[in-house]
Chains A and B, each alone.
Chain A
Amino acid sequence: MAEKTVATSSGKQMEQNKEHTRMPERYLPPPVDIYETEEGLVLLADLPGVAPNDLKVRLEDNILTIQASPKHLVEAEPLEREFELVNFFRQFQLSDEVDQERISATLNHGVLRLSLPRAEKAKPREIPVKISADKAAA
């Protein structure tokens, strides 16, 4: 699974690109874990403050897009602020090995879990060898 948008953890790229200050909204790539199981791939993404209604997972042209807008629990200006919730955005390029029809998503305690099952054709298969009837008889 290749990544479409590259995570910028350092501010370097942001500083070079002054355009971002003009954008009305800002986006951040959420941290993810991606691991393989026998059935396929599992993607876990930390999306704190995101309610199920504010999360969009889209699949288009083999590109998986995760987009979410988190909300604070208290709507007031904090006395002390250590974090701010900004919109999340991250894209992944899926290979043909993923069965796109059977992708499922759950959101639990601010963690998105995407299950990306392997397509049947990509699963290793044993092909049973049969002995043809006439040779067996011979």
Chain B
Amino acid sequence: MAARAIWKGEIKVGTTKVPVKLYSAVQDRTVRFHVLDDRAKKRVKQHMVNPDSGEEVPTEEIQKGYEIEPGRYVILTAEDLEKLQPPASRDIEIVEFVPQTKISEQWYDRPYYLGPDGDEKDYFALAEALKNKESEGIAHWVMRNKYYAGALRAVDDYLFLFTLRDANEVILADDLTKPSGAAPTQKELAMAKQLVEMLQGEFNPKEYKDEYRERVMEFIEKKAKGHAPRLKAVKAKRQTAALDNVLAKSIESLRKREKRAA
């Protein structure tokens, strides 16, 4: 069954507009639990309370405040908040293009598919051009009363729009300092390189399955029928030997495995 579009907009590159529909690319499969009242085994409700008196504060009396310093707030009224909303727009404005490898993984947030809305010619032409130029566009748009910044990219013939994290949100390695302490020796580095190369391959996402999710669901089904299996307690961890010894052993065991496979 075809998915429903979340939003409709127009990609604006210079003066050219490409009408598109936006779809979530993610299908969440996390096992969802509810919070229950332990005694009644019923779903709980949530409300806001004054932590001092423990008394409930009804929704209509709740104010929203921005903390300017510990314990001091500027109240923003409903009117203020409404004024802060960006003007509605359908434009996905492309402000610039950058080479595809220039945006680090850290920035990517949520992926959305863009599908053609009407005209398919320009849609596939733009996707092909992005692919040929190995570029992605930096995009700004307004969706549901909120500003977004993101990246426009072609993945296998189709256009994707990613939301990117805010500039203030991401902590970069540049802000941090490398760990201190003893450096590895040349011998250790040579062995580690050999070890990593033996484990090198292509990224094939289909190889990885969320097996734990299946185990949790199986366990829930058994428990629902009244015969939950007994689970073993978690054991404590072991320690390791000297680094160069462990590296040599790792390489040896991988070699053996390769021989067996050959």
Q: Do A and B come from one complex?
A: no
A residues at B contact (CB < 8 Å): none
B residues with a Cβ closer than 8 A to A are none
